[in-house]
Amino acid sequence: MFNRLQKAFGRASELTRSGKVLSAALVLQKLVTDTAQPVQTKPVRKRAATKPLKTATAQRKAAPLPKPKTKPHSGPGQTARRTIVDGARQGSFTRAVFSDDQGRRSYKLYIPAHATPGALMPLVVMLHGCTQTPDDFATGTGMNLLADERGFMVAYPAQPVSANRNRCWNWFRPTDQARDRGEPALIAGIARQILRDHPADPRRVYIAGLSAGGAAAAIAANAYPDIFAAAGVHSGLPIGAAQGPASAFLAMQAGSLGSHQSVAMPTIIFHGDADQTVHPRNGRAVAARALGSFPRLTETVKNSSSKGGHKFSKTAHRAQNRKSYCEYWTVAGAGHAWSGGKATGTFADPKGPDASREMVRFFLQHRI
């Protein structure tokens, strides 16, 4: 996906094909040293941790509804501003910080311009891909404009270079794959903080991501089914796809079956069939793992073309009430980029179909 990673992965692939497995491993090891190892920074004074939730179980319970607020919260470490896009006034894009005993992450929060005072809104948590930032990801996905149209909040957690030099979410590290640990705990903490400080509906919180962010979204949703009602994985990998940098490389290049999901999580998947960074087999594996928790669903397949010219196949699995619990979109000819995204953002393919719009449609069918 990114020049530095691609060069290393390409070199390791050449060495592996020529039988020089040890040399390939050394290349990957150097990649680990350069990218996955956090940069040493000054200690950050931590704020009091939020009260931990009970251990996750297959049963998903809604948290108590927070008291509605009529004004967006603005506290220490937060800055808010109004923007104007295409001549229309947009909502506020606010920067905030969450910290607990697992670490610290900043995030951007978008609140739509026409939010109804006192009304609880859905919340979509968006995890960017490597080298991206919240602002870049918001631009490329067009999710804020869609939030104005449909009336929901969008949160964009930021992965700093202190955690990964390429800003990748560390989905391949065992310490970042479980509940109440590492990055999943920080992402869940951000969602909890927004639920506490803003009029967000705890029954309608969703999570989606691209590439490394997609893999991290799948992990967070599986770890916190009491927070997230549905997940979107774009060009990502299944949970348990890797247990370190070397296995991450193999999973990205050849695909991984991943591991069993512990909960039934409604999931929508997008993947380009020409993706040379994260093999399309991974998208199929995400769908297979999600389906494993939903028995007796009816499959329907639709083949069509987007307005931008990409052909696509949509495989939906629905219950008797016609609600879809798993959708797998394969985009013909698409590479490693957000389908239907804006050309002004990075790693976005404007030719469609519109992944943002389809994910929101899918999400709003579900609630805890």
Q: Are 68 and 48 in contact (CB under 8 A)?
A: no
pTM of the model: 0.80
Residue carrying structure tokens 């196949």: 313
Predicted confidence (pLDDT) per residue in 42-60, tens digit: 443 433 443 333 333 334 4
Q: Are 252 and 1 in contact (CB under 8 A)?
A: no
8-state DSSP, 232:
E
Predicted confidence (pLDDT) per residue in 253-309, tens digit: 999 999 999 899 999 999 999 999 999 999 999 999 999 989 889 999 999 999 888
**How far apart, in whole angstroms, are the C-alpha atoms of residue 57 and residue 78?**
34
**How far apart, in whole angstroms, are the C-alpha atoms of residue 266 and residue 297?**
12
CATH number of 80-363: 3.40.50.1820
Mean pLDDT by 10 residues, the chain (368 residues): 54 54 48 45 39 38 39 38 45 96 97 88 98 98 96 98 97 97 98 97 98 98 98 98 95 96 95 98 97 92 93 96 95 97 96 97 97
Residue spans of the domains in the chain: they are: 1-37, 80-363
Q: Are 67 and 52 in contact (CB under 8 A)?
A: no
